[in-house]
Amino acid sequence: MGNRLEPSIEGKLSPVDAHRLSVAHDIELNRVHRMHQEFLLHSAPDGAMDKYEFRHCYNRYFVPHHHLKVIPHHQNRQADRWFSNLDKDKTGCIRFHQFLVVADILQKNSITKDNLDKLIDYLNTSENKNEITFADGTLILNFLNDFYCVEEEYSTEKLWNNVDQPITKGKLLNFIIKHPNYSIHI
């Protein structure tokens, strides 16, 4: 088993794996167990969750309170973006350890400074984790725009052009934290 951080194919979560996941994602052990139980309720018997099952869980557990009156397409688009990024092997399914990435970043139905840092790290595909490409920056800003229901007319390209080039992780963090569309939430 080694460093494997996922439950067995049957969806069981060993105490050792639960502890490893708790430490790796900085989530309380009892919350890991609760999230695992919820994951199993909405996933297939083999412990895999498809996009539609994920949408249901995302909308139930991770949609912030300010989204409660929002048209569902915002929520579904956000859930689909998460799912696409979690399903890195493109199997059309995710496992519990992948699901916990969302739980880790969106623990309290909000994005804090620490969680924003984790979000940027998770979505940044550059080998140099301090550099942010236009594609990754656009993805990060699209996540935030959907999450906080930022109007479509305020495009990510427009936002991106307001950040001094070249883009570093620190510059992007500062830009997001100070930008009026996001600062009121973070």
What pLDDT, in 10s, does the model give residues 120-175?
888 888 888 889 888 888 888 877 877 777 765 556 677 677 776 778 888 888 88
Q: What is the pLDDT of residue 59?
A: 79
Look up residue 121 and give its two tokens. 């790290």
Burial of 31 by CB count in 10 Å (0-12 exposed, 13-18 middle, 19+ buried)? middle
Q: What is the pLDDT of residue 181?
A: 80
Task: Give, in degrees to the nearest 5, the angle at Cα 76 between 70 and 80.
Answer: 150
With tokens 């400074």, the residue in question is: 113
User: What value does the mean pLDDT take over residues 49-53?
Assistant: 93
Q: Which residues of 163-186 are buried (b: 16+ CB within 10 A; e: fewer)?
A: beeebebebbbebbeebebbeeeb
Q: Give the confidence band of 5 by pLDDT, cuts at 50, 70, 90.
A: very low
DSSP H helices in 5-153 = 15-25, 29-42, 51-57, 72-86, 96-105, 113-123, 134-147
User: What value does the mean pLDDT take over residues 78-93?
Assistant: 86
User: What value does the mean pLDDT take over residues 70-79?
Assistant: 70
What's phi and psi for 130, nearest 5 deg?
Answer: -90, -15
Over its C-alpha atoms, the chain yields an Rg (Å, rounded) of 17
Listed by start position, the domains of the chain span 15-105, 113-183
Q: Which residues contact 129 (CB under 8 A, 6 or more apart)?
A: 121, 169
CA distance linking residue 101 with residue 98, whole number of Å = 5
Reported as a single tens digit per residue, the pLDDT across 8-32 is 444 678 899 889 888 887 788 998 8
Q: What is the pLDDT of residue 70?
A: 54
Q: Which residues of 33-44 are buried (b: 16+ CB within 10 A; e: fewer)?
A: eebbeebbebbe
Q: At the topology level of CATH, where does 15-105 sit?
A: Recoverin; domain 1 (1.10.238)
- The pTM (predicted TM-score) of the whole model is 0.68
Q: What is the pLDDT of residue 93?
A: 94
Provide the CA 55 distance to its chain's centre, in angstroms. Answer: 13
Q: What is the pLDDT of residue 9?
A: 43
Task: Give, in degrees to the nearest 5, the angle at Cα 94 between 89 and 98.
Answer: 95
Q: What is the pLDDT of residue 35?
A: 85
Q: Give the confidence band of 2 by pLDDT, cuts at 50, 70, 90.
A: very low
Q: What is the pLDDT of residue 142?
A: 79
